[in-house]
Structures are given as C-alpha cells and as structure tokens.
Structure 1
C-alpha cells in the first residue's frame, strides 16, 4: 500500500490542510480514508483534503509523509492526477447543472436520477470511466454538435446516452454496455416517450463497438464523443493510457501489453477512427499518432 500525505500548508477555514493521495489506485485511497474515519465528502477526484490536526495520526496509521512537490510528481506519474480545470468541471454541482439543462423546459429535471447517476460515476474502483470522463465526453459532444451542419434527432437523447453509457462499469466489455442500456430503460421509461427511451438504450449499446451504420448520424456523434480522448494532446493521451493500465493492474505486464496492442491495432485498421466529418477534422490525425505511439511502446 502506498498512500502519501504532504505537510499541512494549504490555508482554508481557519486551519492548514494536507493532501492525502495514493500513487497506486483510488480504491486503495478510499479504503485507507475509510479506515481512519475520513468522510467521503473530503474527496476531490484524486485526493482527500485533511486538516493539520490529523496529519500526525495519518502518518502513524501508515500514510507516507512526502513533500508537496514529490506528492504531486508521484500522483502525476500514477495516472490518477486530475488537472485543476477537469476537477472543477467534474464537480457534482457543475454536472448537475448540465443534467438539468438536458431536460430544459420540456420536462422537470429528475434531479434524484441525476444524483444517482453521479454516484455511479464516482464509484471508487473507476480509474478512467469516472466523472472527469463523463465531463469530457459531454464537452466533446457539444463540440461536435456546434460544428454539425445536420441534425441527429433530439439532442437530449444524445446527451442522455452519454450520461448512461458507462453508468454500469464493472470492467466486463459488452456486458457493461448492455446493463447500462437496461438501466437507462428502467430509469427513463417513466419520464420519456417510448421511442426516445429506445433510442437512448440503442446508443448506449452502440458504445460497445463504436461501429454505427453509415447513415446513423446519432450513433456517429455519440461514438465519436466517446472516442475523442484518442485525439487529445500527447500529454493528455499519456494520462489516459496510464489510467487504462491502472484499470487492469491485476493483469501481468506482458499479457496486458499484448492484448492492449492488439485492440489498438484493430482500431487503426479502420478507414477512419471517427465517423463524423467534424470528428475527423478535429481528432483523426492526432488520434492515429497517439495510438501508433502507444502501440510502439507496448510492443517494446
């Protein structure tokens, strides 16, 4: 177990605060925090804020004392670090605001459903498919819609598909998407017309393959948003790759490298990674460069 704590040096609320992190997994961090009685509300996406009065107790309980710079360096290297902009955007208040906007004035926003979905996105075992990922894919969809010359039906169904697409995430490819789609049907049936419920569920299932039909603009938009991470900056992509590796930390390095490389090589055999014109313009070239670089590293 490698849980780290830096010296209390951040002033707020009349005291100084430390950061408590793990450079191995969030699950480990949550277990440690729970064991020493730190409330989950103190968790801020990649660390716990703890007051100076608890510093000595945390060290005595097994947290390794390190300097602030060393803590930040090791958190970044672990792939668990969430940049400040992403942390702010992924906070529940911001996401619940976006959830409410999906419903607009046509229907009162079901806030309890939004909160229950956020609880799922905050599950401690998630390394990549977390609230930051939800924020990123919603941002990516908004970018695609802003540049889209056509229509893909009600934008609400597209946004809801992304809210539900990894709502069930137990690490079982294909099954997670089916169960997420079933959750969408169960949750949305009392709220929407059957045709809209069926469309949300269809789009959620489609994220298992990211292979929509040529005429399926709605499917193309949702799949492109979900794959937008491939076309980000090299630094952001490297963090994503580390998070994927952390998800499969139980798999030996050689087995993981071979399997991951095969998955990525299959992606590159596609004529295009993105199905929309705007997705190809924005992300295709960088995505192919990022994926190619990761494959080369894995094969080494």
Structure 2
C-alpha cells in the first residue's frame, strides 16, 4: 500500500498546487547538472563522431543512475531517523516530478493570451512551452501547438512518472525524469547533438515505449468522460500512431487528435529549419481555443485511470505474493 498511497497523494498535491516558483525543483537541478557535465565530457573525449557518442553515453548512464542513488540514499537516511519523515519526503519528491498542473496552466495561458492579446501574445505564450519557432504561427497554429504539447506530455510528464513511481517510488521516478530531461536538452538531431545526444534520445525512447501506449489506451477509454469521441480516438490512434518522427509521441497525439476530431502536427520550424512532419487525425472541424481545455480534461481523466489501474495491479501482485 505504501507506494500506492505515496503516488496518489503526489498526484493530488500536483493537481492542487502545481509547481510553486519559490520551491527548488529536482528537474531544474538535473538541467544544471547536464549543462555542467556537457562541456567537460566533450573535452574529455576526442572531438570525433565516435568520441562524441562515447561522451554522450557516459552522460546518459551517469545522470539517471546518480539521480536514483541520491534519492534512494536520502530516503534511506530519513527512514533511519523517522518513517514519517521518509514518507513525507517521498510524497514531496514524487509530487515535484509530476507536471499535470503546470501543463494545464501554461497551455491554458496560450488560449487566454490569444483571447486578450491576439496572435502576438499567443506566440509569446506558446514559445514558453514548445521547442519550435513560434514567430510564424497563426492563431490556429498556436492552439494546435498547445494541444500537441499537452498530448505528448500527458505521457512523459504525467502518466510515465506515475507508472515508475508505482514500480519503484521516488528513486525510479527521479531516474526516469533524468532520462526525460536529458532527451529534452541534448536529444536533438542537429549538428551539435546528433552524436552526443544519441544515447539520451534512445534511452528516452525505451523508457517511454510502454507509457506512451498506456497513455493512448487510457485516453481512448476516458474520452467520453471528457466529452470527446472514444471511437475517433481509437480510429486515429490505430491508423496514425506511426505517422510521427518519434516512436512514442505519435500514440497520445493521434489519440487526442481523433478524440477532438481535429488534425495535429504537420510542418513546423525548428531552429530555423522547416521540418516536414506528417499530420495525425482528420480535420472534421477547425481547431479552436476551447480544444486546449478539452485536452487538459482528457489528460486528467487518462491520468486518473492509469493511476487507478496501476494501483489495482500493484495491490493484486502484492496479495498474490503473500
């Protein structure tokens, strides 16, 4: 029951409080560690494709392992002092590793910016949450980018951490977030990171393989609870999940596109380069600002289903082992 209660409380705290700016955040610490380690590893290995790949493999191995060990050691030390202190610390750490509330806040800020400040304000708001160049986006493009961000991060920002928490508590969830942070910082297919970030990108693909598919399945199952189409979500997921440059992101994004009845993805500008990405979903209607809130409702419904299912499975395994 311990990890079930820890994970459920962490999810509830994130839903209520989100990420207060004044609190230190473990993902920020991971990002700083990556920024510190990258130039040193690049210097330590030969400046060749093979050398950069070796340096990247060291980073991809060390940061998740260090994150796991540090969290495990801290919790073990607290547990030796007080089980209550360990429990509180693990709940807090798990809460900090979830991003549902922040996703909701920042995505809805795009819709509000569009309504109050026009396209220019929406571009600035969406530029805070996406990696693409937002300067050329029109109103529909800003909303589409927000919906896509919530859809993709429903998996790696919410449901994947929940699943890893349920398996190994805060230490395993911290290791997963380290993998995810590595991918977001160095896992790019550009001249700077094509070699150095390869190991991080592949590790992230492996870590998200099951969670991405679980997320899409939960979205299909809970679409009616969010007032959306389960049949549309299932159809688009089955047909379009492979129509994405990522082996995982296409699963939740295609499910969201089908549930909403809109078309997502398509060409985008990244680092000044136009990237031709296939569309997912069908344009049965034009995307609209209200779709951001609908996607957030679907994210929460799918997350709660994933949490409940994982809790039932964990408890069943524990009871069977007795």
Higher relative contact order (CA 8 A, sep 6+): 2
Report the TM-score, using the length of structure 2 for normalisation. Answer: 0.28
Report the TM-score, using the length of structure 1 for normalisation. Answer: 0.30
Between Structure 1 and Structure 2, which shows a larger proportion of helix residues? 2
